[in-house]
Structure 1
């Protein structure tokens, strides 16, 4: 069932986890190294990964004998660590650097946008939200991702390093709160 409240919640949760604004320093650095970012291809590849995982992710889990609630708790742990990374300014998850060619897919589409945290969150969201609302939330995020990728140069000059740091910390706190909610909902049902 279509729910505006669920769509807004999913959109905000995914926006916080994807943290495309917090990833601007990495995107700007990649743009300088590669000469340009293929915004359309990066956005499309991210969308394919996220929507595919939404529909087949649970089947993959069943193949390994893992239920969605357990995966949601694991996802909450990853979201918690990503939030800590953003707030403390420390790197917990290391991303692999690549050179040339596939700048739009690696590392932008995966793991920067549709990385482990995002895919885990998408599966975790299935435990609480309707699939249609999640798809709409993903599409809205893809629009935001495309806009940010397209305007990364303009955003760099407008926000400055201080503005980017503040945004990163705000989204880090939001992620910690989301992680705690997922822990409560899936680890201790009935709270």
Structure 2
């Protein structure tokens, strides 16, 4: 997988279009002049978490004695569940109830942007990527920059697309993630079962 492929995968998993509604809901009681500052702070915290898991994910795996295939299959299952929630959201949205007030780390940095699926995918990429390590960092930074650009313009995009447009984008993202998750599961099951493709 090249840098662009890595960036697209991480971008889809962080689901910035799906997170627009979450960001707007959490920040609706915050003073308008503070909103952009809070969004940027939360995005930087999310980047820090993503970089932490990319850098030390391998050490975490070895400390827990987990195989590459186990992490990849778990990542595929998490992706599948998140994708189903994007396509068929419940009455409380993808992430459930969110607390009011000014957020710090939770729920915007995590689980909205750097959620379990993003962290699992990053750890999976770290253990399966055949190219140089800098490609993973470059792909992560590209995906984060694109997500940050979208989420920093959340109010504008909500007015531009409207609730139905954002819902359609979120469901399309969910469909793409389902295809990616099934592909991850099939690849790793073939590896575990020693089946030739």
- Compute the TM-score of the two structures, normalised by the length of structure 1: 0.89
Q: 2:176 aligns with which of 174, 180, 186?
A: 174
Shift of 1:145: 2.3
Q: 1:14, 1:119 → 2: CA distance? A: 9
Q: 2:124, 2:134 → 1: CA distance? A: 15
**Equivalent residues in 2 for 1:128-147 (5 A)?**
128-129=128-129, 130=131, 131-147=133-149
Residue of structure 1 in register with 2:27 after alignment:
31
Counterpart secondary structure, 1:34: coil
Shift of 1:95: 5.0
CA contact (8 A) 1:72 1:182 kept: yes
Q: 2:157, 2:88 → 1: CA distance? A: 23
CA contact (8 A) 1:96 1:107 kept: no
Q: 1:118, 1:72 → 2: CA distance? A: 12
Q: Figure out how many residues of one structure are paired with residues of the other and give that number.
A: 186
Unaligned residue ranges in structure 1 (runs of 5+): none
Counterpart secondary structure, 1:100: coil
Residue of structure 1 in register with 2:70 after alignment:
70
Residue of structure 1 in register with 2:107 after alignment:
107
CA contact (8 A) 1:95 1:111 kept: no
Unaligned residue ranges in structure 2 (runs of 5+): none
**Which string of whole-angstrom CA distances, capped at 9 and with x for unpartnered residues, describes residues 117-150 of structure 1?**
1000101122432332221111112212221222
Q: 1:48 to 1:168 in 2, by over 3 A?
A: same
**Equivalent residues in 2 for 1:12-31 (5 A)?**
12-31=8-27
CA contact (8 A) 1:58 1:68 kept: no
Cα RMSD after superposing both structures = 1.9
CA contact (8 A) 2:19 2:151 kept: no
- Compute the TM-score of the two structures, normalised by the length of structure 2: 0.86
Shift of 1:33: 2.4
Q: 2:100, 2:25 → 1: CA distance? A: 13
CA contact (8 A) 2:79 2:178 kept: yes
